[in-house]
Amino acid sequence: MRIAIIAHDGKKADMVSFLLNYKSVLDKIELVATNTTGGLVEGAGLKVTRLLSGPIGGDAQIAAMAAEGKLDLIVFFRDPLDKHPHEPDVQMLMRICDVHNIPLATNIAAARLMFKGIVKEL
């Protein structure tokens, strides 16, 4: 299983905290992340493949992976209260998930529900 993770700056700490709650499960899962989020996740002791930073193409790289059927789930903790200059990339990623039927969790509650399903599968 391959999961992509992305977090806006205001949500990066939440992402790391969330993932650490599932550390034993994530040992069996390949993580792919945008660069800055991936660096924080690596720093917390998890293995992750880092792509470009979101605003300079990382969101688009993850969308391409989704379109090519290379992802099973995307967890994207968005910060709805902040402006993001790469919002068109974010919208494109969400559209690609809908077109290609890729599950997308945009907050902790949704991610928690999806990870409960993953735990049952593994």
First to last CA, the chain: 10
Distance from C-alpha of 45 to C-alpha of 23, rounded to nearest angstrom = 9
Residue 9 region, left (φ>0) first, then alpha (ψ -120 to 50), else beta? alpha
Active site residue 79: no
Determine which one of 9, 27, 59, 98 is catalytic. Answer: 59
Distance from C-alpha of 77 to C-alpha of 34, rounded to nearest angstrom = 12
Active site amino acids: 59
